[in-house]
Amino acid sequence: MEIERLQHRFEEIYGGGGQIRFFFSPGRANLIGEHIDYYGGHALPFALTQGIYSAVRLRSDQTVQVSSENIEANRVRGFRLDAEPPVRGIGGCLGHLRCVVQAFQDRGCHLHSGMDILYAGDLPIGGGLASSSAFDILTSVMISDLFGFHDRGGRSDAVRISQEAELLRGGTDCDLVDPSACILGRQGHAIFLSAPSLQYEYVPLRLKDTRLIITNTMVQHPGKWDHYLTRRTECEKALKKLKVVSNINQLCDLSIDTFNNCKDVIMNETYMKRARHVVSENARTIRAVSALRVGNLRRFGELMNQSHDSLRDDYEVSCPELDALVCQAREVPGVLGSRMMGGGFGGCTISLVESAAADAYMEKLSESYQKQFGIAPEFYFAEAGDGARELK
């Protein structure tokens, strides 16, 4: 996105003059390690080159005004910094902003003046590419830099601020993988992330003659949050049973062999399947990192396939649209691996495709998916970029 265009739109909305500053946060894609961060597992996300931008200018009063090109059609809304804290469940661009501001204020950080803000971006909203986390991280970095909160846990603790804002907004605990990828991204690298400690190391993405292609189902099935909470409850019940026979704190403390030796103690087929996904996905993620380090992309693709099968059959967070895209992808010569990505019940798949097969991949999936569901999927070439930052 051209900064000049963003500045022009900002001045159309708020008028010219003053110092306008520009910030960016990427979205994220997750190569492998899905639905296990809340069980002490590992993930392998990377920051995308697509993301959300902001243009901002400080005001001389306590009013914050916000507008978004992607949400609410450039409608300007606002609030005062000295107003009552936001209630839970507040939505939209304004709701996200208010909750991040409140997270700073709850930490004792005083915002001495209001702001005029314009958000824009090239990241699909609701497509499973962490647009919500990108927005929160962008806003956190922007506020930290504008008001000098670096020594108050601002930019350095943006992930926790994002989590606190999510709690204010919806009252539920959020994962840490998405905001971590948005803030920690490094060009050409994935992030081997351990939750919940947030310890990480960078893994070079040497893709040689292959491409990562994200395919958007263009659907989101309702009720997914209830399904997520149900699965977490089921995993907690499995963990409680396993603790009787093993010295563990989290499901991901178990190796696959140890799990297989003691899984019968769970005595519930559904709970066992949920726990099996968690334990096996954690092991797959560790193996995937080893495969990347030695450049074994074919092995990496096999692990991606196994990940999807586990998410579909054991954790059961896939859906017909995701399964169809993955099945169709695996039939295309030159596709090394394909899996659903993100929360599930819609959203996107990510596929590792030989560069020479990229056109055939998109042509086949577009044709077969439209024929089956009457929807045209969207395709994005995914590259690893840098994390949230100010744009000079």
Contact 238, 274 (CB under 8 A): yes
Where helices occur in the chain by DSSP H, the ranges are 3-14, 92-106, 131-147, 158-170, 177-184, 224-243, 256-262, 269-293, 297-313, 320-330, 358-373
Pair 54, 93: CB distance under 8 Å: no
Cα-to-chain-centroid distance, residue 386? 15
State the Cα angle at 304 between 328 and 270, rounded to 5°: 95
Check 157, 178, 253, 314 and give the catalytic one: 178
Helix, strand or coil, per DSSP, at residue 391: strand
Closest CA to 190 of 386, 340, 29, 45: 45
Number of Cβ atoms within 10 Å of the Cβ of 372: 13
Where does residue 303 rank: exposed (0-12), middle (13-18), buried (19+ CB within 10 A)?
buried
Please check whether residue 190 is in contact with residue 45, taking contact to mean a CB–CB distance below 8 angstroms: yes
Please indicate whether residue 178 is annotated as part of the active site. yes
C-alpha–C-alpha distance, residues 325 and 214, integer Å: 11
- Name the residues annotated as catalytic: 178
